């Protein structure tokens, strides 16, 4: 599915702004046909935003179930005869959409786009009512998983991931006009042979019988550098300007459907020419070893929760550039496509992660969620879950396959991985990712509960991604002991001859808390903790990257281990630096 775009043949109308919004705690909206007329007792809800923190009302913040969004939109009068599409960049975690009283699409999964062809349901120049029922409940068959438990005070939603279950319409909603004969998808894969670049392309067109496809590749100044006839082919770019970490150079591939001399449809795909390869314990971009410096992040800020905001996007990248980061992981779900576009432009390397987080009933021991479940079983995470998970992988790759910034797929964060059930669950999912994209390495993020020698899933990955908290959750306050234990474990992993990226290491830190001796929670301890980790990483060649957990403090469910959220940020939630930010800048910005 292509992103909405204004081109010579396409037009878009963004439907962001204030929508009418209503909770549906009894779950009666569908049977009562709430889509058939104006929502009753509605309040205003901004889109894009999580709904949770907008109202001054705990029953909204902690709500789970169906919620309804509605607005009226006028279809541009010039769109007569066009194919008209209603496009959602995401709806967390699932949605059903009506145009007028007609149901047009449903979608499962909270972080990937979906769309409906509504040409038959709208009239150019007329108003139409758009209603969306969004549901944010998590179950053993959702990605991420959760469970609803009965309690003496009613039903409670539990989940095993350590971030707040923000939900709603987090990203833009669009009305799009394209020609009826249209380009439906484009895939590019780039290569390098010395100073010559190659761009292999493949176009999928719909309703285009009798039309020809062609492509034009232009450099950043707009000069034409290659053209190609046909729906697939390989362009060569002599003296190519490579896309590289810190150099987000992008070409523009214009894809066209033509009827003789007339351009029937045109779509622009940006292209960064680069290669990615894992060789032994090295991670190579353009044949050169890279070292990942950066963070695990979240889409998380005050008031709007996981709602996309360009101001926060640009500011976060400014802070990451200031600190000397060259990469981050989209922990723990696919981020807004605006983030991916900007990472392409800024030359950042991304580990792009599916929302498969919390597939581990051993985690938290009742701190983050309930106890007493088996992770993989017919009643819990089962074959049906794996199908949903596989679809989430396919949708992530379909969405992000053309981004040069994406150099590695992560198909899960910290699942149970030391059991037979885990091995059986994950092996086919690695294949799903490889089938969807043979051009990039694939991995998953290993948890401390499956240390070296016990993990049965890492054998399937091209890269080892490890989250470790020596000196925080274990050896708390004992950095000397932590250093010995951590180095010992890492030396074991290094024997696997795969590149190792430390995808999480971090210590909760209360900004403003200081201590003369290294006390956990103090700003000094966070700095010492990071230093200790860096000594360990620097002593092991197979370590090719370090991502501190986390870029910024973030919201979680309440818990005795969390003070107003998770405080492992190097920046506070409102992006004020802690001492660790300056310490990291010394290490990263100078290397």
CA dist 186 and 203 (Å) reads 4
Active site residue 414: yes
By CB under 6 A, how many residues form the interface with ligand GCB?
9
* Minimum CB distance to ligand GCB smaller for 258 or for 474: 474
The residues in 472-511 that bind ligand GCB, with binding defined as CB under 6 A, are: 504
Binders of ligand GCB among residues 93 to 122 (CB under 6 A) are none
Q: Is 566 in the site for ligand GCB (CB under 6 A)?
A: yes
Q: How far is the CB of 445 from ligand GCB (least distance, A)?
A: 7
Question: Which SS3 state, helix, strand or coil, does residue 196 take?
Answer: strand
- Footprint on residues 444-473 left by ligand GCB (CB under 6 A): 467
Q: Is 413 in the site for ligand GCB (CB under 6 A)?
A: yes
Distance in Å, CB of 504 to ligand GCB, minimum: 5
From the number of C-beta atoms within 10 Å of its C-beta (0-12, 13-18, 19+), residue 333 rates as: buried
Site for ligand GCB in 338-357 (CB under 6 A): none
Token duo for residue 468: 């470790």
Q: What span, in angstroms and rounded, lies between the C-alpha atoms of 23 and 29?
A: 9
Residue nearest to ligand GCB (CB): 162
Q: In the complex with ligand GCB, which residue's Cβ is closer, 79 or 409?
A: 409
Burial class (CB in 10 A: 0-12, 13-18, 19+), 287: exposed
x/- site string to ligand GCB, residues 130 to 169, per CB under 6 A?
--------------------------------x-------
Catalytic residue among 108, 299, 414, 524: 414
On the 0-12 / 13-18 / 19+ scale of CB atoms within 10 A, 529 is buried
Q: Which is nearer to ligand GCB, 219 or 489 (CB)?
A: 489
The answer for residues whose C-beta is within 8 angstroms of residue 480's C-beta and 6 or more apart is none
- Could you say whether residue 549 binds ligand GCB (CB under 6 A)? yes
Structure tokens at 465: 């991604």
The question of whether 524 is a catalytic residue gets the answer: no
Q: How many Å apart are CA 231 and CA 187, to the nearest integer? A: 11
- Give 10 or 297: the residue with its C-beta nearer to ligand GCB: 297
Task: Provide, rounded to whole angstroms, the least separation between the CB of residue 471 and ligand GCB.
Answer: 13
- Catalytic pick among 504, 523, 524, 546: 504
Strands (DSSP E) along 100-231, which ranges?
Answer: 102-108, 114-117, 127-135, 146-151, 154-159, 173-178, 182-193, 196-206, 212-218, 224-229
Strand partners, 263: 258
Q: Is 87 exposed, middle or buried (0-12, 13-18, 19+ CB in 10 A)?
A: buried
Nearest distance from residue 162's CB to ligand GCB, in Å? 4
Cβ neighbours around 127 below 10 Å, total? 10
Please give the Cα distance from 208 to 231 (Å, whole number).
11
Q: What does the DSSP 8-state code read for residue 576?
A: P
Q: Of 401 and 568, which CB lies nearer to ligand GCB in the complex structure?
A: 568
> At its nearest, how many Å lie between ligand GCB and the CB of residue 367?
9
**Is position 553 an interface residue for ligand GCB (rule: CB under 6 A)?**
no
CA 408/CA 168 separation, integer angstroms = 28
Based on CB atoms, which residue is closest to ligand GCB, 421 or 559? Answer: 559
Q: Give the nearest distance from C-beta 570 to ligand GCB in angstroms.
A: 13
- Could you give the CA distance from residue 558 to residue 542 in angstroms, rounded to a whole number? 38
Nearer to ligand GCB, 265 or 528 (CB): 528
Q: Nearest distance from residue 503's CB to ligand GCB, in Å?
A: 8
Asked if 416 interacts with ligand GCB (CB under 6 A), we say no
**What are the residues binding ligand GCB (CB under 6 A)?**
162, 332, 413-414, 467, 504, 549, 566, 568
- Could you give the residue numbers annotated as active site? 414, 504
């Amino acid at each position: 599915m292509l992103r909405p775009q204004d081109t010579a043949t396409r037009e878009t109308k963004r439907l962001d702004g204030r929508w009418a919004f209503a909770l549906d705690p009894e779950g009666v909206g569908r049977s009562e046909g709430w889509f058939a007329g104006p929502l009753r007792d509605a309040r205003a809800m901004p889109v894009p935003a999580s709904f949770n923190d907008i109202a001054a009302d705990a029953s909204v913040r902690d709500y789970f179930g169906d919620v309804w969004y509605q607005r009226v939109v006028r279809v541009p009068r010039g769109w007569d005869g066009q194919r008209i599409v209603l496009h959602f960049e995401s709806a967390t975690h699932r949605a059903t959409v009506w145009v007028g009283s007609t149901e047009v699409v449903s979608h499962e999964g909270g972080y990937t786009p979906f769309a409906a062809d509504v040409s038959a349901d709208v009239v150019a120049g007329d108003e139409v009512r758009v209603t969306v029922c969004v549901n944010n409940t998590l179950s053993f068959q959702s990605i991420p998983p959760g469970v609803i438990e009965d309690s003496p005070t009613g039903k409670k939603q539990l989940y095993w991931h350590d971030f707040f279950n923000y939900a709603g319409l987090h990203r833009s909603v669009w009305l799009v006009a394209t020609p009826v004969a249209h380009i439906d998808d484009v895939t590019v894969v780039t290569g390098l042979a010395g100073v010559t670049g190659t761009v292999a392309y493949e176009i999928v067109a719909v309703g285009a019988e009798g039309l020809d496809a062609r492509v034009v590749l232009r450099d950043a100044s707009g000069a034409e550098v290659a053209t190609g006839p046909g729906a697939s082919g390989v362009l060569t770019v002599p003296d190519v300007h490579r896309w590289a970490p810190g150099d987000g150079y992008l070409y523009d591939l214009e894809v066209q459907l033509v009827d003789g001399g007339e351009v029937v449809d045109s779509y622009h795909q940006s292209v960064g020419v680069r290669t990615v390869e894992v060789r032994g314990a090295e991670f190579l971009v353009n044949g050169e070893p890279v070292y990942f410096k950066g963070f695990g992040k979240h889409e998380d800020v005050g008031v709007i929760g996981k709602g996309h905001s360009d101001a926060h996007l640009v500011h976060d990248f400014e802070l990451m550039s200031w600190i000397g980061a060259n990469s981050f992981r989209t922990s723990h779900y696919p981020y807004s496509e605006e983030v991916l576009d900007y990472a392409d432009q800024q030359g950042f390397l991304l580990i792009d992660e599916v929302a498969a987080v919390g597939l581990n009933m051993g985690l938290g021991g009742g701190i983050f969620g309930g106890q007493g479940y088996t992770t993989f079983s017919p009643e819990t995470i089962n074959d049906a879950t794996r199908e949903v998970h596989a679809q989430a992988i396919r949708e992530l790759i379909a969405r992000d396959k053309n981004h040069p910034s994406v150099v590695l797929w992560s198909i899960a964060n910290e699942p149970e991985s030391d059991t037979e059930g885990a091995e059986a669950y994950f092996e086919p999912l690695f294949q799903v990712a490889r089938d969807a994209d043979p051009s990039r390495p694939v991995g998953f993020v290993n948890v401390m509960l499956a240390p070296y020698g016990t993990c049965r899933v890492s054998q399937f990955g091209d890269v080892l991604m490890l989250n470790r908290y020596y000196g925080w959750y274990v050896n708390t306050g004992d950095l000397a002991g932590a250093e010995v234990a951590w180095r010992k474990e890492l030396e074991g992993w290094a024997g696997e001859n795969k590149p190792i990226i430390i995808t999480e290491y971090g210590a909760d830190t209360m900004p403003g808390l200081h201590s003369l001796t290294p006390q956990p929670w103090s700003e000094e301890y966070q700095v010492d903790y990071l230093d200790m980790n860096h000594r360990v990483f620097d002593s092991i060649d197979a370590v090719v990257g370090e991502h501190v957990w986390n870029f910024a403090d973030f919201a979680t469910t309440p818990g005795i281990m969390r003070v107003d959220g998770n405080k492992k940020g190097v920046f506070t939630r409102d992006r004020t630096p802690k001492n660790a930010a300056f310490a990291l800048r010394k290490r990263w910005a100078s290397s």
